[in-house]
Structure formats: structure tokens, C-alpha cells
Amino acid sequence: MLIQCAADFHGRKERYEKFVMAAKEIKPDLIIIAGDFGHVESNIFNEIDAKIYGVHGNMDGDLSYLKDKIEFIDGKKVVYKDITILGTGSSYPEDIGKIDIIVSHVPPYKTKDKAFFGMHIGSKWLRSLVEEKQPRYVICGHVHEDEGYMKLGNSYIVNCSLGKKGEAVIIDFDTEEIDFIGF
């Protein structure tokens, strides 16, 4: 199963256009957006033929106008084709149980969270959750200057922040290949 993900569009139309073009070419099964949408016209997603999950970022206001295109999973646990996904943000479900993917705008502490001034700005709470639950993937963003992926225990931490030139990140859930497009 192919998952296309990104974070930190910040309302930049050209970033969305590149992301949608990649989706039309790659034809992912699932799309995950890890926050900082900014303002975007909802019709930009019309050409995407995949389920889209998202969480809010620190720069996002009211995104309810996108609810017909994107299912926001902040504080929810959802299942997509036998894959359990937890969306984090200002809240999370009490009974977390087994999870395959965590979607968070902020990375776990000391994992792809190094800001330009050298300080780690990730979430300590999220790191503890990842260490305890060991999901296969944590999809996050927020730290534009530390995109990429690394392992924490058995979990891949994927910071899919688009930065200035990124287009999309593709995760092959079956082979565990991770491809950064345009970075």
C-alpha cells in the first residue's frame, strides 16, 4: 500500500499543485497531511482519488471548509484497510491500544526535530508514546529544516515537511521504502 504524505504547505498554491500532480502520477492508496495547511481552495483536491486524512498544525485556524475533502483525525483513532492510525494534536483517545501509524504535526523529541538554531523542539509526550507503542510509522512535519526519516526503536519517524522545494513523501507500507520527491 502506498501512502503519500506532506506537511507545512502554509497555503502556498504551488506546493499544493506539485503535491496533487505527484498524487495523479503515483496514485497512492492513502494521503496523509500532517498539518500547517494554511488557506487553500478545497477544489485543489478534486483530482485526487484517494482517502485523505489530516491533522491541524500550529499555524492552522478553522479548516472546517475542507471537511468534504479531508477527514481530520486530531484526537481520533481510525482504521483504514486494517491499518490503525492515531491522529494527535491537542487531544488523543483514552484507549489507544495497538497503532500502526501516528500522525502528528510536531515530531517526537530528538527525532527529526532539530530547528535551525540547533535546539530539539519535538514533543516529549509523543516520544514516550512512540517508545511505548512502537508504531511502524510516525508521520509529522513542523520542523522545515529537518525533513527526512530515521528509526526510533522499531518505528520510522518521517518528517515530511515540504520546506522550500519538496513535493511529496511516498511510503510503501509493504516494503518499508520511503521516497522524498523533489527534496
| 4-47 residue pLDDT tens | 999 999 999 999 999 999 999 999 999 999 999 999 999 999 99
Domains of the chain (ranges, CATH numbers): 2-181 (3.60.21.10)
Rounded to 5 degrees, what are φ and ψ at 24? Answer: -65, -35
107 dihedral zone (left: phi>0; alpha: psi -120 to 50; beta)? beta
Question: Residue 51 pLDDT more than 90?
Answer: yes
Alpha helices in 108-157, H assignment, sequence order: 124-133
Q: If you count them, how many residues does the chain have?
A: 183
Strand-strand pairing, 168-172 and 2-6: antiparallel
What one-character DSSP code corresponds to residue 143? Answer: -
pLDDT tens readout for residues 83-116: 999 999 766 777 788 999 999 999 999 999 999 8
Strand-strand pairing, 83-87 and 101-103: parallel
pTM given for the model = 0.96
Q: What is the pLDDT of residue 46?
A: 95
77: β partners: 86
